[in-house]
Amino acid sequence: MALSTAKIKLNKCRRNFILEVFMAYPNIPSRINSFQLGRYSRYGEQYFRRRFETEFNFFLFNKTIFQRTIVFRNVSGLIK
């Protein structure tokens, strides 16, 4: 699972929060905000407000996930 990588330090609370956002995101028909996330998930609005207020390095998170899933190819087509 990509969320359990060694480079990203995700505690259980942060991991559950990210998974909950990713699971609720496709179900929300209009604007995505804390109120809508609270409506379409098992947690309330305050849960999402508090979690979004804390800092998180999304650049490192995305970079680590993409490095594990993308296979780079050179010009000749050989896998590196």
21-41 pLDDT tens trace: 999 999 999 899 999 999 999
Q: Write the pLDDT tens digit of every residue in 67-76.
A: 766 666 555 6
Name 4's Cβ contacts closer than 8 Å, sequence gap at least 6.
Answer: 10, 15
Determine the Cα–Cα distance for residues 3 and 7; give it in Å rounded to an integer.
10
> pLDDT higher for 5 or 19?
19
Residue identified by tokens 């309330």 is 44
Q: What's the pTM value of the predicted model, to 2 decimals?
A: 0.65
CB burial string 36-59: b at 16+ within 10 A, e below: bbbebbeeeeebbeebeeeeeeee
- Break the chain into its structural domains and give their ranges: 7-69
